[in-house]
Structure 1
Amino acid sequence: MRLRQDVFVLEQECLYPDLDGRDLEPGTVQWWAEDGVGAVVATLRALDDGEGVVRVGRVATARDARGAGVARQLVLGVLAATRGPVVLDAQSHLEHWYERLGFARDGAEFLDDGIPHVPMRLAR
């Protein structure tokens, strides 16, 4: 949770309710990666969106760990551990990053707390 606050609230200056209650829903799985001393360097959550759909969200990577493939490994871990379609709302500048993992745009761009996002889906 601390990393999410550092990235979304402090770095991206988004004053939105990150703690939306979905972290505690049945079926929610928190994923994270640690560095060699136990500090969390990347995180995401996988939510049960119903009807077999998994929603990936709150993907965050510490500034000094970016570009090392840590978030990619977390997303690939979710894909390996789940079946069925996976959806997410990507910040628009990361659309091509998610495309390289197999996701495709699934709707029009929208603003979330002033940041452009695109809905994406990986059908399997």
Structure 2
Amino acid sequence: MEDRVYQSFEDLMIWKESMRFSVEIYQLFKDSRDFGFIDQIQRASVSVPSNIAEGFERQTDKEFVQFLFIAKGSNGELRTQLYLAIELKYIDKKIGIEMIERARKISSMIQNLIKVRREKG
């Protein structure tokens, strides 16, 4: 759980993990020709670390929690798109399931951070 004081969002484990995951999403779909789908899944993946960073920079726990909920929502959108990618055979099912599980882990990390920040606020 991320309950100690951090100097910047770059120090947050959840931000680092969601950034790595976003990069992997970009790499996974870089050769796809379904540009509408690619745009949507990339936007969702980028939204997670972006909202964590933006919320952190707001400097109040209440605002930070709001942005964490937005990040969590984007993560749910991303998982949905991964399910779709599996169904459309854009990615191998095994890889897709592994990515969905990682996204679930990130969602759980976000939820834990929300809990910590709510208790502080």
Length-normalised TM-score, structure 2? 0.29
The higher-RCO structure (CA 8 Å, 6+ apart) is 2
Query: More helix by proportion, 1 or 2?
Result: 2
Greater C-alpha radius of gyration: 2
